[in-house]
Structures are given as structure tokens and as C-alpha cells.
Amino acid sequence: DTAVSQTPKYLVTQMGNDKSIKCEQNLGHDTMYWYKQDSKKFLKIMFSYNNKELIINETVPNRFSPKSPDKAHLNLHINSLELGDSAVYFCASSQGGGGTGAFFGQGTRLTVV
């Protein structure tokens, strides 16, 4: 059983398009996250979300928006894609804010051409 799964694994799209990445966790965790990992492997948190609070990293452009239909899902919508958005995006989940460890999905490699 995959604990945190995200789809698609690869996404190639043109500049200006709108795309979504889906994430689901079956761990019963109450907090989910989106991370961006650049070519230098640096991990940058974009959002953390539980049923009470959405915390947005202020450096994330408002073209990026999280959508949570329920506790087990946190999707990432990206509008007007730019070349600089090319990266690997990871979904993760934890119980609470990560003080007992966060579990990551396998990542979505987004390439904007």
C-alpha cells in the first residue's frame, strides 16, 4: 500500500498552461504539504494544510494554489505556468506539523517548455 501517492509522476507542458497535480495519503494524517525541489536538490515548503489552517509560504507566487477536497487529499493547481516552475514537486503528510516525521510521495517532475 502506497502511503502518500501523487499523480502524475511526470508532467511536460507548455508555458502559459494550467495544470494540476493530485495527492492522496492513506495514513490518516491530519496535515499535508507541498514541497518544491529544485535542480540543486534544495527542498522548499510551499504550503502546509490541515483542516484548521492553510499556511502559505509567502515566497510562493499566487499562481500556485492548494485545493483540499477532504482530509486525505491535497491537490496543487498551477496557473499560467512559467519556465522557472520546472522542478520536482513533492506531496507529504504528517500527524500534526511534522514533529513525528513527515512522509513523502514519489514526486512529480514538472517540465515547462
Give the footprint of another protein on this chain (CB under 8 A): 4, 31, 40-43, 45, 48, 53, 55, 90, 92, 94, 96-99, 101-107
Instruction: Give the Cα separation of 80 and 65 in Å (integer).
Output: 12
Q: In the complex, what is the shortest distance from the CB of residue 8 to another protein, in angstroms, rounded to a whole number?
A: 14
Residue (28 or 42) nearer to another protein, CB: 42
Q: In the complex, what is the shortest distance from the CB of residue 65 to another protein, in angstroms, rounded to a whole number?
A: 19
Residue (62 or 100) nearer to another protein, CB: 100
The size of the chain, in residues, is 113
Write the CA distances from 25 to 10, 37, 93, 111, integer angstroms.
Answer: 19, 20, 7, 24
Residue (13 or 104) nearer to another protein, CB: 104
Q: Is the N-terminal amide bond of 8 cis, ω within 30° of 0?
A: yes
